[in-house]
Every structure is written in C-alpha cells, then in structure tokens.
Structure 1
C-alpha cells in the first residue's frame, strides 16, 4: 500500500490532531470544530472547512473559495461513500464491534483507516489513490465520529 498518514492529538488534553506521514513529514493539523461536528485544515496554501449535518452522517468539505471539494454520505455506517470531483470512494466498516474502516474497490480492500490507540485517540490511514486533501477529509470525519462515540460512552 502507500505511505501512511498518522494522526495524533497535539497534546494530552487537546482536541486538535497533527497529521504526519510515516517518513516524519508533516501533512497538516486537523482543527476540531468547537461548536459543530467537523473541523478544518490547511494544505498546500489552501484552507478547507468540514461540516456535518445534525446526525453526523453527511459531511461536506469546502475549499477556501466556498466550493464543495468533497462530500461523504452515510459516514460511520457499515458502508459509506465519499465523492470528490468525478471520483467516488467506498468505505466499509471492518466489523460491528470496531470502527476501523476499509477502502474498497468492489470486493477488494485497497486501503484502511485504523485506530492505533483508543487511549490517545490516534489513528493510521493508508489510503492509496486518494488525493491528500480527501485523505485528510476521511481522517477528519473518523476523528469527529470516534470522538463523539467516546464522549457518548463517557456520559
């Protein structure tokens, strides 16, 4: 597979995540949104905002000009899709008992997003073929959903 992106909290109590590649290069920082489900990031001199609907199942990524750069529907369900430009990417949750995701083409697994640590909230993504901004979008969606699930379990 490709060069993985790892996401780790910027501090123990922090909500933001530093995204780095396996070779140590920084990709970006995922800034968690305070009042809504979503967040944002800067990449290659462009700024992206990610917002979701009230149920956290539909996410939209807007570029700094306000144009839709990517959309995800049914996020977090057993099967869900991301549309970016003319491409569509399909994800499947590995099992009912965990949140790890597979990027699939037909019946073939071509990439993964896995929780590296439940304690720290870190994760690793290997999503070959997806543009970097779309990879960050997928990672951000999963960070948002996993954080919401952890908060719900704690209450």
Structure 2
C-alpha cells in the first residue's frame, strides 16, 4: 500500500480539489461552510472532515457520524493524527516552507513520507505517504490543504 496522492485545485474561487491516486481520479474534496471542513466519498463511503473554530483540531467522521481519526495541534511545528490505537506524527519541514513530513516519532530525523505544495498560487499538493491506508492518507492531505487555506486567509486579513 503506497498512496501517492495529488490534489489539484479545481477553482480559484472555491475550495475544491480533485484528488488523484497514482495519476487516476480518486475523489473530489469539497469545502463546506466557512472552509473549515470538507466532504468526500471514497469507495462508496461518505466522509466529512470537521474543524474546531480555532482550526487547531480536525476530526474525520464516517457516514454514520462516528469518529475515525483526529488531528491535533494543527498549525504547530509538530502535530499528530490519532486513528484508533495508532498515533501518526508530523512536522513542518522548515520555518520558510509549509511542506509537512510524516515521521516515526517526534525527534525522528528521517521522514516516512511528505506532503508538499506543487503549485504556489493554485494550492495544488502532492502527498507521498507509503504504507498509510488510503482513507487516512486522504484525511491527512485534506487537513494540510485546509491548514494552508487557513494560513493564507489569515495572511490576507492582516
């Protein structure tokens, strides 16, 4: 299992991305409300990513409303995703770039995977997350895209 996901922004006016897995269309991430959440369908299952009003915690909900995963400390240098009994650790690659690295544990020097911008103006991204299950990889990509949207909105407001 090696999901290589690419997100291409469909419109500059709306938060909507077409996500491809290994070059093949997979799903569309569609922002809902105030751009703090997205909905999508993967393998016939509806998912929703919801954010707290501060944007520091995101939750992945299944079609029945059950919590599947939770991302915490979003926007910090180090943040994490908890899925059932597993905790996945991430860090911002550098203070000058918004790219993120998936690491084995805080303090690890070698990344297990990356999420990086591939288009500065359009908000396109690529996620190379080897071994991560596709539903969790899509959630991770959605969280990073929403984090970047939130940072861009905050910068524009100042």
* TM category, shorter: over 0.9
**Distance change >3 Å, CA 80–CA 94, structure 1 → 2:** same
Q: SS state of the match for residue 152, structure 1?
A: helix
Q: How many residue pairs were aligned?
A: 154
CA RMSD of aligned residues (A): 1.6
Contact 1:89–1:103 under 8 Å retained in 2: yes
Alignment partner, residue 101 of structure 2 = 102
Alpha-carbon distance in structure 1 between the residues aligned to 2:121 and 2:144: 16
Contact 1:4–1:124 under 8 Å retained in 2: yes
Within 5 Å, which residues of 2 pair with 1:41-56? 41-56=40-55
Q: TM-score, normalised by structure 2?
A: 0.91
Cα displacement (A) at 1:153: 1.9
Q: TM-score, normalised by structure 1?
A: 0.92
- Residue segments in structure 1 that go unaligned for 5+ positions in a row: none
**Cα offsets for 1:24-83 (capped at 9, x unmatched):** 211211111223512111001100111111110111111001110100110121111101
Alignment partner, residue 35 of structure 1 = 34
Contact 1:3–1:21 under 8 Å retained in 2: yes
Alpha-carbon distance in structure 2 between the residues aligned to 1:77 and 1:127: 20
Alignment partner, residue 90 of structure 1 = 89
- Residue segments in structure 2 that go unaligned for 5+ positions in a row: none
Alpha-carbon distance in structure 1 between the residues aligned to 2:12 and 2:55: 25
Contact 1:115–1:123 under 8 Å retained in 2: yes
Alignment partner, residue 118 of structure 1 = 120
